[in-house]
């Protein structure tokens, strides 16, 4: 019974942790295959996870041929909560541009 209770509490805490790690994504085309992606998330999420999410989203958009031009971290106050932002720009390449 104790083992079941331990696993139950562990599974609930994992769900709560996943709820904290939600991102808001904003995507803006800039023309000439260049884009801006803004990721907003909770203050508790580490920078590495933000960068991984950014790179994975760029891969979803461009496939394997892309160049990340810039990334920049910032903080905002939203609904009286401090949130972290990663804003970056990237360029997608088509086969003829490589």
**CATH code of 41's domain:** 3.30.110
Half-sphere exposure of 65 (CA within 13 A, CB side): 8
Q: Residue 95's pLDDT band (boundaries 50, 70, 90)?
A: low
Judge whether 39 lies within some domain: yes
Judge whether 86 lies within some domain: yes
Compute CA 96 distance to the chain's CA centroid, rounded to the nearest angstrom: 29
Instruction: Mark 29-44 as b/e (b = at least 16 C-beta within 10 Å).
Output: eeeebebebebbbeee
The model's pTM:
0.70
| Predicted confidence (pLDDT) per residue in 44-80, tens digit | 888 899 999 999 999 988 888 999 999 999 998 877 8
| Predicted confidence (pLDDT) per residue in 1-46, tens digit | 444 333 333 343 444 344 445 788 888 888 888 999 999 988 888 8
Report pLDDT for 38. 92
Q: Specify the number of domains making up the chain.
A: 1
């Amino acid at each position: 019974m104790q083992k079941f209770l331990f696993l139950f509490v562990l599974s609930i805490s994992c769900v709560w942790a996943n709820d904290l790690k939600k991102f808001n994504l904003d995507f803006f085309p800039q023309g000439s295959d260049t884009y801006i992606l803004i990721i907003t998330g909770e203050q508790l999420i580490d920078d590495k996870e933000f960068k991984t999410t950014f790179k994975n989203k760029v891969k979803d958009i461009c496939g394997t041929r892309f160049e990340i031009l810039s990334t920049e971290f910032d903080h905002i106050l939203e609904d009286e909560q401090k949130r972290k932002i990663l804003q970056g720009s990237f360029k997608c390449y088509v086969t003829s541009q490589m």
